Amino acid sequence: MFSEKNLIRVREGNKKPVLEEGEYILYWIRANRRLAWNHCLDYSIHLSQKFKKPLIILESIMMDFEWSSPRLHTFLLEGLCDTIEEAEKSGFAFWPFVETPDKRLKDHIPSILERAALVVTDDFPCFFLPEHAEKLAEDLKCKLLLVDSNSITPLASYEQTFYYSRVIRPRLHDRFAESYVLHSDPKPKSKGLPDPRNISKPDFLFSGRKEEIPEYIQKMKCKYPDVLPFPGRIGGRKEGLRLLKQFVKTSLSHYSKERSEPRPPDTMKASSLSPYLHFGMISVEEIVTAVLDSDPKVEWSPDFLNHSYRGKNEGFFHPDPNVNSFLDELLTWRELGYLLFYRSPSFRKDLSILPDWAKQSLLLHSSDKREYLYTKEELENANTHDPIWNAAQKELVLTGSMQNYLRMLWGKKVIEWTSSPEEAFAILEDLNHKYAYDGRDPNSYTGILWCFGAFDRPWFPERAVLGNIRYMSSESTAKKFKLKPYLEYIKGLEEGSEPGLFA
Ligand SMILES: Cc1cc2nc3c(=O)[nH]c(=O)nc-3n(C[C@H](O)[C@H](O)[C@H](O)COP(=O)(O)OP(=O)(O)OC[C@H]3O[C@@H](n4cnc5c(N)ncnc54)[C@H](O)[C@@H]3O)c2cc1C
C-alpha cells in the first residue's frame, strides 16, 4: 500500500489524461535500476491496482549518451541481467531494451509508450535525464508521473536548496524518523496485480543472457570505445548487495577513522557503493537499514535517535561513531547535491553556484603565476611532476574509481596547474565523467565544486592561485597516510595495463 504521505515524492510531468483505452501502466526505469526498495515501483503497483490495468516495467539502456564507453555499458548490461532475473523471480512483466545501431531507442520505444494508459518514471535530477523527461512529457499522449526515489527523505520536503552541510543537516535529522518509517517496499509483489499475460510483448527486447554482453558491447556505439571495463568491478544489484554485506561486516567498524586512507581495495574501509548508488542498483534506504541494523545486539528503531545531537555530524543516529560518520556522508553530503539538482534539474552545475567569497577570491588570483601548468592531455596521461597525483589519476583511468581523499587532492591540484578556474572545471568534469563508474551524478558536481570552495568556508592564509579556497598538498597527504601499499598497488595495475597507456 503506497502511503499518502509519500505522495510528496510524486510530481506531474504533464497535464495529459490517463488513457482509458491504454493497455497498461508503464513504469519506465531510467535511473532506479532495481525491483526492490523503490518508491517508483511502489507507486506504479498502486496505480496498476487503482486503474485495474496490468503493470509493465520497461528498463532501457541508451547507447551513445555523453561519456558512454564499454566500461559503463558493461556495468549497465550486467545490472540489466540481474534485474531480468529478479523480475522472473518476483513475477513482474519486465521488458528490457538495449539500444544498438540497428535498434534505435527513438524507433522502438514509441511503440511501447503509445500503448500505455499512464507512464511513471524515475525523477533523477541530473545529466541528460531531466531533459529526456521533459521531452517524454511532451511526446506522450498520456499522463507522465515522475517519482523521487533518490534518497531516504523526499527531496520535495525541503523548502529550498542549501549550500552548507551544517544547514541541511538539522533539517535532515528532523525528517529522518518519519522518512525511515515510510521507506519503500523491500520485497514488492506482483501477486494480485491485473494479469499481464494477454499483453503482447515486443519482439525487440534484450534476451537477458550474460553471454550476449560482449556481442552487445561490440555493437553499441559509444563516445569512448577505449575506456574499458575494470575486471574488478562488476555491475548489478547482486554485486552491490554483496559489497554492502561485506562493508557492514568488515569495514564499517573502522569507517570513521580509516575511510580517508588511500589503500588497495582489499584493505580499504569505505564502502565502494557509489557506482551502484549512481545507477540505482541499490537504494539509500536499504543501505541505511543495513547499517543501523549492523549490531545484532541492538534492535534499532527511531527511538534510538538522540535528538540532543540534532544538527551535529556525530551522535544523532547511533551511539557508534562509525555509523554516524557513514550516515553523515551517505545522507547529509549526498542529499546536499541531490537537492541542489532537484530544485533546478539540469545536465550540470558549474562555477556560477560558488559562494561570492570564492568567486571573488578566484578572480582576484586569476592572473597569479602558476608554478606548474599542464595541458589536459598531460593531466589525462598522468604526466605531472607529482607521483601521488599521477597515481590517483592512473587509478581513475584504469579502475574507474578514486578514493575520496585523493579525489579532493586531485581536484585542488588541477585548479593550481591550469590557467583558469573555468579550464580546471571543464577538465575535472570531463575526466571524472569519462572514467569514473560513479560519474555524471549530482555528487560529481558537489565533489568537484567543493574543490573550488562550494559548500566550504574561506581559509587563511590567502595563497597564490587558490586565494582563500582550502589548500591541500601531496606533501601533507604523504605525511598523513602510509601510502606505500597504495602506490605499489597502482604500480602493479599499470604494469598489467596496455603498454604506452600513460606515455
Ligand atoms: C573531485 C571529486 C569528485 C567526486 N566525484 C564523485 C562522483 O562522480 N560520484 C560520486 O558518487 N561521488 C563523487 N565524489 C564524492 C565522494 O568522493 C564519493 O562519493 C565517494 O568517494 C564514493 O566512495 P564510496 O562509495 O566508497 O563512499 P563511502 O565513504 O562508503 O560513502 C557511502 C556513500 O556516501 C556518499 N558520499 C560519500 N562521501 C561523499 C561526499 N564527499 N559527497 C557526496 N556524497 C558522498 C556516496 O554516495 C557514497 O557512495 C567526488 C568527490 C570529489 C572531491
Q: Decide if 67 contacts 431 (C-beta within 8 A).
A: no
pLDDT confidence of residue 497: 85
Q: What is the pLDDT of residue 388?
A: 98
Cell of 454: 562550494
CB of residue 222 inside a 6 A radius of ligand 1: no
79 burial class (0-12, 13-18, 19+ CB within 10 angstroms)?
buried
The series of mean pLDDT values per 10 residues for the chain, 503 residues long, is 95 98 98 98 98 98 97 98 97 98 97 98 98 98 98 96 97 98 97 96 94 95 97 97 98 96 95 98 98 92 97 95 97 98 97 98 97 98 98 98 97 98 98 98 98 98 97 97 97 88 81
CA of 65 to the centre of ligand 1 (A): 22
Cα(215) to centroid(ligand 1), Å: 32
Q: Give me the pLDDT at residue 255, please.
A: 97
SS3 57: strand
Q: Do 75 and 33 meet the contact criterion of CB atoms below 8 Å apart? A: no
- Contact between 34 and 283 under an 8 Å Cβ cutoff? The reply is yes
Cα distances (angstroms) measured from residue 299 to each of 146, 197, 289: 35, 42, 11
Does the Cβ of 446 fall within 6 Å of ligand 1? Answer: yes
Domains along the chain with CATH numbers:
1-190+208-347 (3.40.50.620), 351-495 (1.10.579.10)
pLDDT at 312: 96
Report d(CA 260, CA 256) in Å as an integer: 8
Q: Which residue is closest in CA terms to ligand 1's atom 48?
A: 274
What is the per-residue pLDDT for 289? 98
* Alpha-carbon Rg for the chain in angstroms: 23
Q: How far apart are the first and last CA of the chain?
A: 58
Would you state the pLDDT for residue 473? 97
The β-bridge relationship of strands 10-12 and 93-98 is unpaired
Collapsing DSSP states into helix, strand and coil, what is residue 208? coil
Res 1: pLDDT: 79
* pLDDT at res. 208: 86
**Predicted pLDDT of residue 148:** 98
> 214 by DSSP, 3-state: which?
helix
pTM: 0.98
The Å distance, Cα 494 to ligand 1 centre, comes to 24
Pull the grid cell for residue 300: 534499532
Q: How far is CA 173 from the centre of its chain?
A: 22
Task: For ligand 1, say whether the CB of 447 is within 6 Å of any of its atoms.
Answer: yes
Q: Which cell is 105 given? A: 531507442
Tell me, using a 6 A CB cutoff, whether residue 130 lines ligand 1: no
